Amino acid sequence: MINILLIEDESNVVSFIKKGLTEEAFEVSVAFDGNTGFQMASDNNYDLILLDIMLPDKNGIEVCKDLRKNNIQTPILFLTALHTSDNITLGLNSGADDYLVKPFKFNELIARINAILRRINTQNISIKKNENVFIISDLKVDDDAKTIERNNEAISLTATEYRLLLTLIKNKGKVLSRMDLLESAWDINFNMGTNVVDVYINYLRKKIDSKPGAKLIHTVVGMGYVLKEI
């Protein structure tokens, strides 16, 4: 049984989501304010947290940041009416795994939940050790050790940033659309309705291409992104 914590203060939204998830065989616990939600998330082992941003007592951004500070790595999906690029960036930067804007279709919520759970399950599967090192210019990605170096300096990436970089480097020289990247790095096969790909490309550039030297991640206007030497 998959256990989900829903932190949401609107009773009609709680009723709608809980009823639908229960019918899909999920176990759902509910907190109606940020402080209670933070405490429940800290004291229990949930498979996923659905988190509103605009909450009483403690907003969702603070809840997410504090959970990550306390090394609670439960996947977090924001459900919120705040839909600007700045809001999305703030939510993802706070440590969330995904961001879904209200109003949304219930089948999209289920698809997002399943995609997150698939990624987590994949990360937990033991894979037989094999040589799997990718090198382009002075960038080295060791997919066995899950390490990244550029010019012999170690680079720290989040799990999502790592998947995105690995997708780009495995397709070196190939222009990938945003949908290509969503399908490969996020395991999503429909338009998320956000600029999450652009946001994470910018994160990668700041870590991979921030220092003087050849830029590796390039924008192809109107088409997508490509990782290559120029």
Q: Read off the pLDDT of residues 202-219 as tens digits, 9 standing for 90 and up.
A: 999 999 998 776 789 999
The pTM of the full predicted model, rounded to 2 decimals, is 0.58
**All structural domains of the chain:** 2-124 (3.40.50.2300), 133-227 (1.10.10.10)
- The pLDDT confidence band at residue 86, using thresholds 50, 70 and 90, is confident
CA distances in angstroms from 63 to 39, 78, 106, listed in the order given: 9, 11, 24
pLDDT at 119 over 90: no
The whole-number pLDDT of residue 1 equals 82
**Peptide bond between residue 75 and the one before it cis (omega within 30 degrees of 0):** no
Assigned token pair, 76: 């977090």
Q: Return the amino acid letter for 157.
A: L
Tokens 């090192």, residue? Answer: 133
On average, the pLDDT of the chain sits at 87
Residues 42-62: pLDDT tens digits? 999 999 999 999 999 999 999
Residue 23's CB: how many other CB atoms inside 10 A? 9
% of the chain residues with pLDDT over 90: 53
Q: Are 223 and 146 in contact (CB under 8 A)?
A: no
| Residue range 151-193, pLDDT digits in tens | 888 999 988 899 999 999 989 899 999 888 988 887 766 565 5
CA pair distance 18, 28, nearest whole angstrom: 6
Residue 138 has what pLDDT?
86
Mean pLDDT value of segment 133-155: 88
How high is the pLDDT of residue 189?
60
Per-residue pLDDT at 10: 93
Q: What is the CA radius of gyration of the chain?
A: 19
Confidence check: pLDDT of 123 > 70? no
* Parallel, antiparallel or unpaired: strands 224-227 and 98-101: unpaired
Instruction: Find the mean pLDDT for residues 87-95.
Output: 83
